[in-house]
Every structure is written in C-alpha cells, then in structure tokens.
Chains A and B, each alone.
Chain A
Amino acid sequence: MSGNAMKSVPRRGFLKLVLTGMVGTLGMLLYPVARFLQPRKKGGGGALEVVAPYRVDELRPDAEGKWPSPFNFGGRPCLLVKSGDGKIRAFDAVCTHVDCTVEFRPDKKDIFCNCHNGIYDLEGRNISGPPPRPLKSLSVELRGDPGKEEIIVRPNES
C-alpha cells in the first residue's frame, strides 16, 4: 500500500462511520426521552401498617345504609368487611377484573363491583361475574378496649 492510501479513508468506510455516528447520536437522544416517559418511583403498592380511620363499633352501615368507604392503604383502597359472626376481614379493594373499587353490601352479605357486576364472598373469593381471581386479603389486628378496638391492617405474610 502506498502512503497515500493509508491516509485516505475509503468511501464505503467513511459512510459506515457517519452512519454509525448518526445511529449513536439518535440512541443518545432517545435514551433520556424513553427514560423520561417512565413513571416516577413512588408509593402506591400498599403500606406496612395502617390504622383504619374507624373503630370496630363504627364499622356498620350509616343512616342511609352505606357501609364505611374504603380507606387509603399506602396508595391503594382497603375495604373492611364484617361477617355475620362478627369477624372483621380486610381486602385490597381493587377488583381483579379491571381495577374498579369494590364495595361491601351488608344486606346481601357479599362484596360487589359496580363496574361489571362482579361478586365476591366475604372471604374474598370470586363467586360470580367476570372477576378471574379472588381479592387480595390483608391481615387484621384489633387493639384496645373490647367493642371499641382500633383496627390495624397489615399486608398478609404469605
């Protein structure tokens, strides 16, 4: 090879180099954009421990027959239900069908979703309608004076 050829870059090689550079630039431009579009890191996946905003004796239908509304359990709604034997259970109130918030119907003794008529029993099992899975249950601990205990909700160990 002559010294001249050593110095000059062949045309094909030059185009390859330019193309590689352009693809690289595009990647460098798009990477921050793709990252920017990601959701922020924040809570919303539940909490470690929350004291419910009502005590055991307040857990009953109001004058209009409405059951106490679900409350904020680390960014997700938590529903408390009371079965006939007085046992209190807590569930992640997000319907397993398409994410509506379910409610407790004390008269019908079930958990109901108004969006697509999904029905769960008081153990959270999906028994009718479109929900494909049971509700996620949470663990409940009662603390304080009998009959007026505070209700403490935690994620289930399992």
Chain B
Amino acid sequence: MGFLDERLGLEGARKLAAHKRVPVHRQTPFYFLGGMALFLFIIQVVTGLLLSLFYNPAEDRAFESVQMIMTEVEFGWLIRSIHSWCANLLIGILYLHLLTTFFMRAYRRPREITWVTGVLLLFAFLALGFSGYLLPWNELAFFATRVGTAIVGVVPFIGDELLNFSRAGENVTGDTLARFYALHVAILPLTVFGLLGVHLYLVQKHGMSTPEPVIEARGGEDRVPSMPFVPHFLLRDLVGWYIALAILAALAALFPWELGEKVDPFAAAPEGIKPEWYFLFMFQALKKLPSHILGIEGELVGVLFFGVSFAIVLIAPFLDRGPRSRRVLVIMACMAVVFFLVMTAWGLME
C-alpha cells in the first residue's frame, strides 16, 4: 500500500472520498440523475465497442452487418438492443437532469461552468443519438438524416456549406455514412470524455448544490444534514444502477430493436415516418409550421426559434441576474416543458 501511495498519491484520493458529503433534504433523489447518466454512458461505451467489432460502415455492407449482428453473432441482438434502448434512456435521464438542475437553481454561482459543460454534454449526446441512428443504413434512418441535415441547410448565409459538410456532398450517400460513423465512434466520444472530465471535476470541486429554500429553512448551508458519499450515497447509487440494468435487460429482451428495410436512395419516404421521441418535438413543430410566416420560409422561422432557445438554455446561469429575470426564466422553462410535452404527445398520436 505504501509503495502504491508513494507513486500514485492514493492518500489524496482517499481523503477526497472521505470528505465528500451529499446534502439530505426532500430533493436529494434528484442528485442520483447525474450518476445514473454516467452509468448509462459507460454501458454505451462497452456495448458500442462490442458492436464495432462486427459493424461495417460501408454503403453496401452496413445494413447487412447489422443484420448479421442481430441474427448470426451470439447475443448480438442483445448487445444491439441494449445499445439502442440505453441511448433512449440516457437522453431521457439527461433531459430530467437538466430540468431538475434548472428548477433547483443548482447552476447559481459558482457552478455556472458546471451547467454550461452539462448542456454541451446534452448536445453531444443528442448528436450521438442522431449520428448513431444512421449507422444501420435503413429507410427510417436515411430519411431522418435527410431531414436533419436539410434543417441545417436552412441556417442563413452558411446553410449550403453546412449541409454539404454534414452530408459530405449534396445527397446522403456512403460518404455521409462514413462521416457519421467517424462522428459517432471517435469525434463525439472524445468530445464527451473531455467535457465529462471538466464536468465531474467541477462537481467534485464545488460539491453538491443545496437548494436555497432548504438553506433558509435550516438557517445556513452548514446546518443542512448530509450523508457521506462513500459508502452511503454510493450504495444508493448502486441500487439505482441495478434497477436501470434490469429495465434495460427487460426492454432489450422483450422489445428487441427493429432493423427495418434497407435504404433505397430513390424510393419515396415510407408512410408514418417519425424520428426518435427525443427529436419528435422539433419534427412535429416543423410539420405544423405553415410554408411562410410573415414572408419568411416557415422552416427558417422554426430553425431560428430552436437555435435561440438552445442558446438561452446554454447560457441560462448568466441570464439569471435577479428576481425579475429569474421569474422570466422560470416562466420560459415552464413554457418549454409544456411545448415539449404537447408537441411530443401530438407527434406520437399522429
């Protein structure tokens, strides 16, 4: 032990673990969401690495290789289904993590950068979901990518360049598949690791944020009861991870992820086409926007609206500058939640 400690500085890590405490109050369960997201991300890394051993990112091989994973590779159906389901759970947990962090105002000084890296991580995970969706090279994925990249093409001034860059050409082709593969397995994961490093470092540095009403009710932050992170909170984390694993296994076993039809680049879009639920609110909004609003193309209005909304989410801590701006932010957040729920439900029903 002395040998390792002298070389690795284990004592520092032990002290850090011994000192880390988690405040106990009614909102404490929300502290589990971050750890849950981390756990699901680790599952994504492991299952993703496994899938990459058989997957082949070529226009004439991608669909066939996923088909082979589902039918010939032992437990291939399980690994792929877990990867797909886990992606959905992960984004769901991240949405919740974002919301609870916002409404607990955990982003307030000095945790603004923790918030910003968290939102950037959410964007990176949405991009992972979008890029991973194309990899099986099926019809749904093909049109989802056509629509998603066409939306990028609406951006004023540089839209065409962005569209050509994201598709690696004018159309969605094998070159697009290669680009999305590189994004999905190398560029975005490296980005996530970098952002996650900063995010987790900041969480350790500043500790858990206690909501203001709790501090007020107790008459000071140091008077709020707390529990040690190791082992008390970690063991509770572990229970949550076990439950998540059980849910994932059940979903993957009972509802194996479908593969669909292989891409035919010239066929019409199939009926009832829809993106994953976490993009559905944007899809539905685009569907319902008229072709022109005040003389501007409807899709441009939609793209600008979502662009501004995401920018506001990203810099929310810096917009919260007092009771009045705080009230405006909370009202906007509530409207965003209602918008998301209504649009998603509407999209699911159609």
Contact A39 B299 (CB under 8 A): no
Contact B286 A44 (CB under 8 A): no
Contact A98 B299 (CB under 8 A): yes
| Cα A116 to Cα B280 with chains together (Å) | 12
Contact A114 B271 (CB under 8 A): yes
B2 within 8 Å of A (CB atoms):
no
Interface stretch, picked from A25-33, A54-62, A69-77, is A69-77
Nearest residue (CB) in A for B291 is A132
Residues of chain A within 8 A of B171, CB atoms compared = 44, 75-76
Interface stretch, picked from A9-17, A82-90, A99-107, is A99-107
Contact A99 B147 (CB under 8 A): yes
CB distance from B175 to the nearest CB of A (A): 7
Interface stretch, picked from B13-21, B34-42, B162-170, is B162-170
| Cα A103 to Cα B269 with chains together (Å) | 8
Contact B146 A99 (CB under 8 A): yes
CB distance from A102 to the nearest CB of B (A): 6
Residues of chain A within 8 A of B283, CB atoms compared = 116
| Cα A70 to Cα B299 with chains together (Å) | 25
Residues of chain B within 8 A of A154, CB atoms compared = none
B8 within 8 Å of A (CB atoms):
no
A130-B287 contact given A69-B264, A76-B171, CB 8 Å threshold: yes
Nearest residue (CB) in B for A126 is B291
| Cα A103 to Cα B273 with chains together (Å) | 13
A113-B269 contact given A130-B290, A130-B299, A132-B298, CB 8 Å threshold: yes
A45 within 8 Å of B (CB atoms):
yes
Contact A130 B291 (CB under 8 A): yes
CB distance from B311 to the nearest CB of A (A): 22
- The number of inter-chain residue pairs (CB within 8 angstroms) is 102
B186 within 8 Å of A (CB atoms):
no
B292 within 8 Å of A (CB atoms):
yes
A40 within 8 Å of B (CB atoms):
yes
A20 within 8 Å of B (CB atoms):
no
Residues of chain B within 8 A of A77, CB atoms compared = 265-268
Interface residues of A in 113-134 (CB under 8 A from B): 113-117, 126, 129-132
A97 within 8 Å of B (CB atoms):
yes
Interface residues of B in 146-186 (CB under 8 A from A): 146-147, 149-151, 153-154, 164-165, 167-171, 173, 175
Contact B286 A130 (CB under 8 A): yes
Contact B297 A98 (CB under 8 A): no
Residues of chain A within 8 A of B315, CB atoms compared = none
A70-B267 contact given A40-B168, A42-B169, A98-B286, CB 8 Å threshold: yes
**Binary CB contact string for chain B from 263 to 297 against chain A (1 if under 8 A, 0 otherwise):** 01111111111000000000100110111100001
CB distance from B267 to the nearest CB of A (A): 5
Residue from A42, A98, A102 in contact with B150 in the complex, judged by beta carbons closer than 8 Å: A98
Nearest residue (CB) in A for B274 is A115
A93 within 8 Å of B (CB atoms):
yes
A1 within 8 Å of B (CB atoms):
no
Most chain A Cβ neighbours within 10 Å, of B146, B289, B291? B291
Binding site for A on B (CB under 8 A): 143, 146-147, 149-151, 153-154, 164-165, 167-171, 173, 175, 264-273, 283, 286-287, 289-292, 297-299
Binding site for B on A (CB under 8 A): 37-40, 42, 44-45, 69-72, 75-79, 93, 97-103, 113-117, 126, 129-132
13 CB-based A-B contacts, threshold 8 Å: A39-B168, A39-B175, A77-B265, A97-B299, A98-B154, A99-B150, A100-B147, A102-B268, A116-B287, A129-B291, A130-B290, A131-B291, A132-B291
5 closest cross-chain pairs (CB), A and B: A103-B268, A98-B150, A99-B150, A39-B169, A116-B287
